[in-house]
Chains A and B, each alone.
Chain A
């Protein structure tokens, strides 16, 4: 297991983070949640940036505090709200990284930056949000890290830049022994990219599922009140009142397709699953 968070707990006022999470080797695991759901707190816990009230984070099968600096070099990180000092240029960052990571490929990093249209001698604070995001991601992917931890790496990027970034992440995974934990508020990004997804809300995990299962087996049933009463609800996870009756979320759409062909069914998208899981009523 590349990353494992067991029974961790962190409380800020009335917010409590309590998210068991596992990241397997060779996997891209996505983290989805609304703003303030606790994604950044979870990332900061994973990176030892905040102390936990309870529980332990293990990276490369070791508690985070026991990782050697050599092992820490195997991690590449993007944080949503923090990066290298804005007073440094890309050339400066390359010099620093060269002295921090043994496997840092300076020429490749600078080449990638140039290809992305980033000015090498301009200070980071004069960059646009999208440019800053690109530098952060390129820096995280510049030193052959086995584990990438990317908090909102696509924030501030336009559609084309996002696609480019997602492609470069796929390319990064090619060697096969690498893993990525990634969060985004744009669920389509994660739908295309991730092997499994964690849905987080109010500091807790409300759903963990393989992406294929989520897209293939999850779905929505649109039923009248009468249909709802007669329905076999074994595989219904949430329900929500609508003008026409109820909207129901199932994790076995195939079951209802066969047994109740008269019901209107819709295949699930991650956004709909999120909305139903958070806003819908638990059965």
Chain B
């Protein structure tokens, strides 16, 4: 596992310029007081996404075959992709959130709780994102994976649209439901969302292991 993580970190060097650009851009946006929520969400997602690029690098030039002759198991490979996504996305999230909190504090500290809660929600969102994209990338590879992802995003939007439409048709008030949810203690909502995200990642890991076990190189 350690060897795989080091490999992916070394491969990350290839995107050094892009990530530095993202970082400076985000720092600039936070300094100029552009929407902090957007910056946190954007940076965390971009950095979580590197786990996808690392799969593309592994796949490049038929690299998978050699990789699996090294002393690693297919389970370890799948697990490492989540750990790597968590390490890169998580580190980026911590840095950007701490920076945003400091900037908020410097500007008087209004809406600090909202900032922290939203930042946490974005972290969970990144976990969910990882849970969806990693197995897709492993199963379909870079090229087909992209098409499948667009398809999945399409389905999610369509499903959301149908839910909203259905709610209107049956005269359910979604905003009241949302308000009711928000009125619950923030702590318990966050705990529930955290558990849901972790469960999704774990379920996704099990699917990825299954995909890797069936793969032929």
| Chain B residues positioned under 8 Å from A72 (CB to CB) | 70-71
Q: Indicate whether B11 reaches chain A with its CB closer than 8 angstroms.
A: yes
Chain A 62-86: CB-based contact to B (< 8 A → 1; otherwise 0): 0000000110110101010111111
Instruction: From A73, A79, A86, A101, give the contact of B65 (CB < 8 A).
Output: A79
Q: Indicate whether B113 reaches chain A with its CB closer than 8 angstroms.
A: no
Cα separation A47 to B71 with both chains bound (whole Å): 11
Q: Told that A44-B217, A79-B69, A82-B64 touch, could you supply 17 new A-B pairs with CB distance under 8 A?
A: A47-B68, A49-B68, A49-B69, A51-B216, A72-B70, A73-B71, A75-B69, A77-B66, A79-B66, A83-B61, A85-B7, A85-B60, A85-B63, A86-B61, A87-B14, A99-B2, A100-B3
Sample of 6 A–B contacts (CB below 8 Å): A44-B65, A48-B68, A69-B72, A79-B65, A82-B64, A92-B10
Q: Which residues on A are within 8 Å of B, measured CB to CB? A: 44, 47-51, 69-70, 72-73, 75, 77, 79, 81-88, 92, 95-97, 99-101, 125, 149
| Chain A residues positioned under 8 Å from B60 (CB to CB) | 85-87
**Contact across chains for A85 and B6 when beta carbons are under 8 A apart:** no
**Contact across chains for B63 and A95 when beta carbons are under 8 A apart:** no
Cα separation A86 to B58 with both chains bound (whole Å): 9
Instruction: From B6, B65, B71, give the contact of A82 (CB < 8 A).
Output: B65
| Chain B residues positioned under 8 Å from A149 (CB to CB) | 69
Instruction: From B10, B14, B69, give the contact of A77 (CB < 8 A).
Output: B69
A167 to chain B, nearest CB (A): 24
| Chain A residues positioned under 8 Å from B65 (CB to CB) | 44, 49, 79, 81-82
**Contact across chains for A96 and B3 when beta carbons are under 8 A apart:** yes
Instruction: Report the count of interface residues on B (CB-CB < 8 A).
Output: 24
**Contact across chains for A69 and B10 when beta carbons are under 8 A apart:** no
Given A49-B68, A79-B66, answer yes or no on A88-B61 (Cβ-Cβ < 8 Å).
no
| Chain A residues positioned under 8 Å from B124 (CB to CB) | none
Q: Which 10 A-B pairs have the closest CB atoms?
A: A100-B3, A99-B3, A82-B65, A72-B71, A77-B69, A82-B66, A49-B217, A92-B10, A69-B71, A82-B62
| Chain A residues positioned under 8 Å from B68 (CB to CB) | 47-49
| Chain B residues positioned under 8 Å from A125 (CB to CB) | 61
Instruction: From A51, A83, A86, A100, give the contact of B71 (CB < 8 A).
Output: A100
**Contact across chains for B57 and A87 when beta carbons are under 8 A apart:** yes
| Chain B residues positioned under 8 Å from A81 (CB to CB) | 62, 65
Q: Which of A69, A95, A96 has the most CB of B within 10 A?
A: A96
Q: Indicate whether B91 reaches chain A with its CB closer than 8 angstroms.
A: no
Cα separation A45 to B183 with both chains bound (whole Å): 59
| Chain A residues positioned under 8 Å from B70 (CB to CB) | 72, 100
Q: Which residue of B lies closest to A81 (CB)?
A: B62
Q: Which of B7, B63, B73 has the most CB of A within 10 A?
A: B7
Cα separation A81 to B71 with both chains bound (whole Å): 19
| Chain A residues positioned under 8 Å from B2 (CB to CB) | 99
Instruction: From B57, B69, B216, B217, give the contact of A85 (CB < 8 A).
Output: B57
| Chain A residues positioned under 8 Å from B69 (CB to CB) | 47, 49, 75, 77, 79, 149
Given A95-B10, A96-B7, answer yes or no on A50-B217 (Cβ-Cβ < 8 Å).
yes
Q: Which residue of A lies closest to B74 (CB)?
A: A48
Q: Which residue of B lies closest to A47 (CB)?
A: B69
Cα separation A49 to B6 with both chains bound (whole Å): 23
Chain B 101-141: CB-based contact to A (< 8 A → 1; otherwise 0): 00000000000000000000000000000000000000000
Cα separation A92 to B7 with both chains bound (whole Å): 8
Cα separation A135 to B137 with both chains bound (whole Å): 29
Cα separation A234 to B217 with both chains bound (whole Å): 44
Chain B 47-88: CB-based contact to A (< 8 A → 1; otherwise 0): 000000000011011111110111111000000000000000
Q: Which residue of A lies closest to B65 (CB)?
A: A82
| Chain A residues positioned under 8 Å from B64 (CB to CB) | 82
Cα separation A83 to B7 with both chains bound (whole Å): 13
**Contact across chains for A87 and B66 when beta carbons are under 8 A apart:** no
Q: Which residue of A lies closest to B7 (CB)?
A: A96
**Contact across chains for B61 and A50 when beta carbons are under 8 A apart:** no
Cα separation A72 to B69 with both chains bound (whole Å): 8
Q: Which of B2, B6, B57 has the most CB of A within 10 A?
A: B6
| Chain B residues positioned under 8 Å from A92 (CB to CB) | 7, 10
Instruction: From B11, B71, B73, B217, give the contact of A87 (CB < 8 A).
Output: B11
**Contact across chains for B216 and A50 when beta carbons are under 8 A apart:** yes
Instruction: From A47, A48, A79, A88, give the contact of B7 (CB < 8 A).
Output: A88
B86 to chain A, nearest CB (A): 19
Cα separation A82 to B61 with both chains bound (whole Å): 7
